[in-house]
Structure 1
Amino acid sequence: MITTTYHSPLGEIVLAADARGLRGLWFADQKHFGSTLTGSEVEFDMTRGTFPQGVIVDDGESCEEIRGCDAVSGERPMHAGSPKNVAAVAVLERVWAWLNAYFAGQDPRWTPPLHVEGTDFQHAVWVALLSVPYGETVTYGELARMVGERMGCTAATAGMQVSPRAVGAAVGRNPISIIVPCHRVVGADGSLTGYAGGIERKRYLLELESEGKLA
């Protein structure tokens, strides 16, 4: 797994990916930061297209410069000695491009490859979050009904069989902020409650999407 840092209008965002997909996206100071990190990751500089010189990766190969990391221009193909590195950096490229579009006020309308580990219930919650449209919000109760239906409950009983409190706990543990849009979940009265990245960031993201939806 490798990491990189994205400089957003809301502060630094740390991205972690492996060959299968994005493993984590956190604001540097948010709760549960780095929940999927092992401590052995190597950081990749997306702006320069390089790993730190002389660093040894987990497959025993020296980290080398990887060219063609500009996901927007697509001018050059990527080159690296380790296929594992190429695949993971390609994931980060797509996430980088997604974030560029998002913070420019656009709905990216696609999802980069994700590789998220969690319980079956957490996965059900995170998949339900992905279905909440850009520029819209749901309450914890509404999300609980969505999760219940996804888990096989009937539409009439889904909200009673899945606890909004349990859903809220899974939302708070979401390791891929913004892309898996936990910021779109609000209180029953529409209030901005509980966001690992902080309420002000949540307000910014919702306002950004509201403006982008009207554009």
Structure 2
Amino acid sequence: MSTQVATSTHVVLDSPVGPLTLVATDGALSGLYMEMQRHLPSEETFGALADPDTEPFATVAAQLTAYFAGELTAFDVPLDLHGTPFQRRVWAALQEIPYGETTTYGELAAEIGSPSAARAVGLANGRNPVGVIVPCHRVVGSTGSLTGYGGGLDRKRHLLDFERETRTGADGATLF
């Protein structure tokens, strides 16, 4: 019986929110980490430095570029997310939050069928290994306040403001 070992590689890209480390495992994106991110895995798990022109990095970079240019509202890249079944349910629900909109931890908990699990949803949200692409920044506190974000509250505020401005346009008209 042979056991196949997953192979990870990584690249570092510049972005409007600072350097992003992209990690791929067997050809699918398994991590997107910001500088000084909470719950950052050890760099040894990132694997070897890869050529940014190889897949999936080239596709992810192109989509991130389009996102930060205000031209892309939903990502379509292969993901390989490792977490508990509960975490994966939360991460799947995060991907359903519309661009430029927010939801609360409690609303997200109810959406996944665990209405009393707002705190657990917050913990799973904080462990999201692919920030921006799996938009955990779109979850706010019950009063609309900006609560914790693994990449820092300044980045969360930047991403939310950017999406709202892009979504409504300079003249206030809704574009998407």
TM-score (norm 1): 0.71
Match of 1:213 in 2: 167
Q: Shift in Å at residue 20 of structure 1?
A: 4.0
Q: Provide, for residues 75-122 of structure 1, a one-character-per-residue CA deviation record: whole Å limited to 9, x for no partner.
A: xxxxxxxxxxxxxx3111111011101111223434211000110000
- Structure 1 residue aligned with 2:115, among 159, 184, 192? 159
Is residue 5–residue 45 contact of structure 1 (8 Å, CA) maintained in 2?
A: no
1:183 aligns with 2:137: yes
- Structure 2 residue aligned with 1:44, among 50, 67, 78? 50
In 2 relative to 1, CA 123–167 (structure 1 residues): closer, same or farther, beyond 3 Å? same
Q: What are structure 2's unaligned runs of at least 5 residues?
A: 1-7, 170-176
1: CA distance, partners of 2:145 / 2:130: 22
Q: Trace 1:12-161 onto structure 2 (pairs within 5 A).
A: 12-34=19-41, 38-39=44-45, 41-46=47-52, 69=53, 89-148=54-113, 158-160=114-116
Q: Provide, for residues 144-171 of structure 1, a one-character-per-residue CA deviation record: whole Å limited to 9, x for no partner.
A: 01111xxxxxxxxx424xx100110000
2: CA distance, partners of 1:183 / 1:33: 16
Is residue 15–residue 22 contact of structure 1 (8 Å, CA) maintained in 2?
A: yes
What is the aligned length? 162
2: CA distance, partners of 1:124 / 1:15: 22
2: CA distance, partners of 1:188 / 1:11: 28
1: CA distance, partners of 2:44 / 2:89: 24
Secondary structure, in 3 states, of the residue corresponding to 2:19? strand
- Structure 2 residue aligned with 1:9, among 1, 16, 20? 16
Match of 1:195 in 2: 149
Identity within the alignment, %: 46
Q: What are structure 1's unaligned runs of at least 5 residues?
A: 47-68, 70-88, 149-157
In 2 relative to 1, CA 11–110 (structure 1 residues): closer, same or farther, beyond 3 Å? closer
Q: Shift in Å at residue 38 of structure 1?
A: 4.6
In 2 relative to 1, CA 120–39 (structure 1 residues): closer, same or farther, beyond 3 Å? closer
Q: Shift in Å at residue 180 of structure 1?
A: 0.4
Q: Provide, for residues 33-68 of structure 1, a one-character-per-residue CA deviation record: whole Å limited to 9, x for no partner.
A: 136x6546111242xxxxxxxxxxxxxxxxxxxxxx
RMSD over aligned Cα atoms: 1.5
